[in-house]
């Protein structure tokens, strides 16, 4: 893959998804010593960046593949994105979700017109059910991350940021399966080849860290309050890209992720889920490295928070 694929995706989905704003925060700059540019994908269609990749994938599918019907597996945001994108192209979607998926995300998939199948206690079990339904019904699988058109679509987040706010010295991005990480890294490094890329993972869902340690993708049982980052493995497409494009991986605890949510809600005034706030949490911990005097780009990846579950867990403010 290369940056040209991201530019092609941007042209394909232009006008169909939101060109989301870039926020700044004097408080965040003061805490980090950097000038931080925050791309707000919490206000994207379907509430996350996933709408970009899903729409790009569906627009590049042959008519016959769309007509068979689509199937996706998700902890929430990818499923809603596929359901929404399917409605845009006149296709039907089935979304398989683990039984622990947040009620708000299940409702979103239903609301966009998908059939929702709740199956399994882990994303691994949900993946297996998705594969079974694909074979049984002859459906077209829309992968949540390990697909070149998905990666290219997600990369438009980084492309827009550098177009609207200029190149960055450091790019801090959350990682689940790696689609957003790899796509945006291609874009920001095209604008500045010396840009340092820092990926952020939950300690309880470290699929790509595990793959790096093993030298190849390995299955994990992923559990975290950041359910949007709970990929069960690194993919054969995203893992080599990740290895080539990412300079460092930062692992965050559940408490640190929740502290990030509180900061974003209080200081940036954006309602965001734990996966969406992971990048800000990494900046606040100081583990993203020396940021002093640098232009740092980052992204709020999703706003589909189950308030009744997450808000009672938030730590006290500063």
Rounded CA gap, 109 and 46, in Å? 9
Please determine, for residue 313, whether its predicted confidence score (pLDDT) is greater than 70. Answer: no
Of 17-31, 102-116, 141-155, where does mean pLDDT reach its minimum? Answer: 102-116
103-127 pLDDT, tens digit per residue, is 888 888 999 999 999 998 888 888 8
236: exposed, middle or buried (Cβ count in 10 Å: 0-12, 13-18, 19+): exposed
Q: For residue 49, give the nearest of 152, 187, 200, 130 by alpha carbon.
A: 152
Rounded CA gap, 87 and 107, in Å? 16
What's the mean pLDDT in 154-176?
97
The pLDDT value given to residue 25: 95
Can 3-48+147-313 and 50-141 be said to share one CATH topology? yes
Rounded CA gap, 228 and 216, in Å? 22
Q: How many whole angstroms from its chain centre is CA 21?
A: 17
What's the mean pLDDT in 45-49?
94
The pLDDT value given to residue 308: 58
Please determine, for residue 176, whether its predicted confidence score (pLDDT) is greater than 60. Answer: yes
The pLDDT value given to residue 16: 97
User: What would the two tokens of residue 128 be?
Assistant: 């297996």
Please determine, for residue 309, whether its predicted confidence score (pLDDT) is greater than 60. Answer: no
The pLDDT value given to residue 11: 98
Question: Domain 50-141, what architecture?
Answer: 3-Layer(aba) Sandwich (3.40)
Rounded CA gap, 144 and 146, in Å? 7
Give residue for tokens 């860290």.
209
Domain ranges of the chain: 3-48+147-313, 50-141
The pLDDT value given to residue 56: 98
Rounded CA gap, 106 and 227, in Å? 13
Q: How many whole angstroms from its chain centre is CA 33?
A: 26
The pLDDT value given to residue 200: 96
127-145 pLDDT, tens digit per residue, is 899 999 999 999 999 998 8
The pLDDT value given to residue 318: 62
The CA-based angle 60-114-184, given to 5 degrees, is: 45
210-219 pLDDT, tens digit per residue, is 899 999 988 8
244: exposed, middle or buried (Cβ count in 10 Å: 0-12, 13-18, 19+): exposed
Phi, psi of 81 (to 5 degrees): -65, -45
The pLDDT value given to residue 188: 98
Rounded CA gap, 313 and 290, in Å? 30
Q: Which residues pair with 171 in a beta bridge?
A: 197, 297
The pLDDT value given to residue 306: 67
What's the mean pLDDT in 82-109?
90
Rounded CA gap, 265 and 277, in Å? 9
Of 40-44, 76-80, 278-282, where does mean pLDDT reach its minimum? Answer: 76-80
* More confident of the two residues 32 and 307: 32
CB 86, CB 93: distance < 8 Å: yes
Rounded CA gap, 210 and 126, in Å? 20
Please determine, for residue 310, whether its predicted confidence score (pLDDT) is greater than 60. Answer: no
Q: Which residues pair with 139 in a beta bridge?
A: none
Please report, for residues 69, 138, 149, 296, the alpha-carbon distance to residue 63 in angstroms, rounded to integers and kept in the order given.
Answer: 10, 14, 16, 41
**Average pLDDT score over the chain:** 92
The pLDDT value given to residue 232: 82
Please determine, for residue 316, whether its predicted confidence score (pLDDT) is greater than 80. Answer: no
Q: Does domain 3-48+147-313 have CATH number 3.40.50.1100?
A: yes
Q: For residue 219, give the nearest of 127, 97, 150 by alpha carbon.
A: 127
The pLDDT value given to residue 66: 94
What's the mean pLDDT in 284-292?
91
* More confident of the two residues 14 and 224: 14
Please determine, for residue 35, whether its predicted confidence score (pLDDT) is greater than 80. Answer: yes
Helices 238-245 + 179-191 axis angle, to 10? 40
Q: How many whole angstroms from its chain centre is CA 265?
A: 19
Phi, psi of 41 (to 5 degrees): -85, 0
Q: How confident is the model at residue 311 (pLDDT cuts 50, 70, 90)?
A: low
The pLDDT value given to residue 249: 95
Please determine, for residue 312, whether its predicted confidence score (pLDDT) is greater than 80. Answer: no
Q: For residue 284, give the nearest of 41, 25, 23 by alpha carbon.
A: 25
Rounded CA gap, 148 and 146, in Å? 7
CB 282, CB 252: distance < 8 Å: yes
The pLDDT value given to residue 229: 87
pLDDT above 90: percentage of residues in the chain:
73
């Amino acid at each position: 893959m290369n940056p040209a694929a991201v530019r092609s995706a941007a042209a394909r989905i232009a006008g169909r998804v939101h060109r989301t704003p870039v926020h700044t925060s004097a408080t965040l700059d003061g805490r980090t010593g950097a000038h931080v540019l925050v791309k707000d994908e919490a206000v994207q269609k379907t509430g996350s960046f996933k709408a970009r990749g899903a729409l790009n994938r569906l627009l590049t599918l042959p008519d016959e593949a769309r007509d068979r019907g689509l199937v996706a597996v998700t902890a929430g945001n990818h499923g809603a994105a596929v359901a929404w994108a399917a409605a845009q192209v006149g296709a039907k979607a089935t979304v398989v979700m683990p039984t622990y998926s947040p009620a708000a995300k299940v409702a979103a998939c239903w609301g966009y017109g998908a059939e929702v199948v709740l199956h399994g206690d882990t994303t691994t079990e949900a993946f297996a059910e998705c594969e079974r339904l694909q074979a049984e019904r002859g459906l077209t699988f829309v992968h949540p991350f390990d697909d070149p058109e998905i990666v290219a679509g997600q990369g438009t987040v980084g492309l827009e940021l550098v177009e609207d706010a200029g190149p960055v010295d450091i790019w801090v991005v959350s990682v689940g399966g790696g689609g957003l990480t790899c796509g945006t890294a291609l874009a920001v490094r095209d604008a500045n080849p010396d840009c340092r890329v820092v990926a952020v993972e939950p300690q309880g869902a470290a699929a790509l860290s595990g793959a790096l340690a093993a030298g190849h993708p390995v299955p994990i049982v992923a559990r975290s309050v950041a359910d949007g980052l709970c990929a069960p493995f690194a993919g054969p497409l995203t893992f080599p890209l990740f290895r080539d494009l990412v300079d460092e991986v930062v692992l965050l605890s559940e408490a640190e992720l929740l502290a990030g949510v509180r900061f974003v809600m209080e200081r940036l005034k954006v309602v965001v889920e734990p996966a969406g706030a992971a990048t800000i949490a990494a900046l606040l911990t100081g583990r993203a490295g020396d940021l002093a005097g640098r232009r740092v780009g980052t992204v709020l990846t999703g706003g589909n928070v189950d308030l009744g579950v997450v808000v009672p867990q938030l730590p006290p403010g500063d």
